[in-house]
Structure formats: C-alpha cells, structure tokens
C-alpha cells in the first residue's frame, strides 16, 4: 500500500474526529484544551499544582494559567494556595467540573463503542500498534 495513501487516511480520520469532538465540546462550552485539563484533574487526582498540570498536558505553565482562568470563570475548577509552598497554586475540580469530567468520560466510552465495538480484537490491536508507531516517529523528530 502506498505510504501517502496511509498518511491521507490518517489526516482524514484526525480531521473528522476533531470536528466531532469540537462540536460535542462546544455544546458544553469547552475547548479541546480545557476538556483535556478537566480530564487530567479527574484521571490524575486532584488537587494538582499548575506545574504538574503543565507536565501532564505537555504545555507551558503560562498556557495552564490561561486554561485555568477560563475554567475558573465557568466554575469548573477552583484555585487554592498550596499548604507548604506559597509559590504553588493548587487546582481542583468543582462539583460542576466533576460533572463535566463524568460527561467527558461517558462521551469517550460511547464514541469508542460506536466506532469499534464490532471490530475484532486483532484489528484493534493492529490499529493501536500503527498509531503508536506513528506517534513514536513523530516524537522522534
């Protein structure tokens, strides 16, 4: 199979999944980056210091500050001072943020089921292997 055809299929898949994700998140008043931060807090445990969030999300602390500002305005997260490090700020989900995290988790599970439930494990394992290979190649650039 021609490598360019594979790359084109990967781009098409990424674009279509991105469009679907953007539509679903927009209906909730979220962006992909904000949703990723909510999920990070939900999955990694909360509260987290902003520096740790930056490492988990592989972005700058400045970017985290902007995301937290926006999520705080929507009452999805709250900031508190760190009990032992006065330079650190802790970020935690609010009740609304936890509800958003549950919704995001359910949406991911529903989408995965809708897309992959009827595919045999060997195909899914091959798909993941190719995706991981591509990601490793991209990380190595």
**Could you tell me whether strands 89-93 and 48-49 are parallel, antiparallel, or unpaired per DSSP bridges?**
antiparallel
* CA distance to 2, 23, 46, 60, 116, per residue, from 97 (Å): 45, 19, 11, 22, 28
Radius of gyration of the chain (CA): 18
Q: Which domains does the chain have, with CATH numbers?
A: 32-139 (1.10.10.10)
- State residue 9's pLDDT score: 94
Task: Name residue 63's beta-bridge partners.
Answer: none
> If pLDDT is split at 50, 70 and 90, which confidence band does 86 have?
confident
Looking up tokens 């990424």 gives 14
| Distance in angstroms (rounded) separating the CA atoms of residues 93 and 19 | 26
- Tell me which of 115 and 1 has the higher pLDDT: 115
Tokens representing residue 32 in the block: 């992909």
- State residue 46's pLDDT score: 86
Quote the pTM value: 0.85
* CA distance to 3, 103, 117, 130, per residue, from 92 (Å): 44, 17, 34, 36
pLDDT average, residue stretch 63-84 = 95
Average pLDDT, the chain: 94
> If pLDDT is split at 50, 70 and 90, which confidence band does 85 have?
confident
């Amino acid at each position: 199979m021609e490598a360019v055809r594979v790359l084109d299929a990967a781009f098409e898949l990424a674009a279509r999944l991105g469009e679907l994700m953007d539509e679903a998140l927009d209906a909730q008043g979220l962006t992909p980056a904000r949703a990723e931060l909510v999920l990070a807090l939900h999955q990694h445990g909360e509260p987290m210091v902003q520096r740790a969030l930056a490492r988990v999300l592989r972005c700058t602390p400045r970017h985290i500050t902007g995301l937290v500002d926006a999520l705080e305005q929507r009452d999805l997260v709250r900031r508190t001072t760190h009990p032992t490090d006065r330079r650190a700020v802790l970020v935690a989900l609010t009740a609304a943020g936890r509800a958003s995290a549950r919704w995001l988790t359910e949406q991911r599970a529903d989408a995965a089921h809708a897309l992959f439930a009827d595919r045999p494990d060997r195909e899914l394992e091959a798909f993941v292997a190719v995706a991981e290979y591509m990601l490793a190649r991209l990380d190595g650039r």
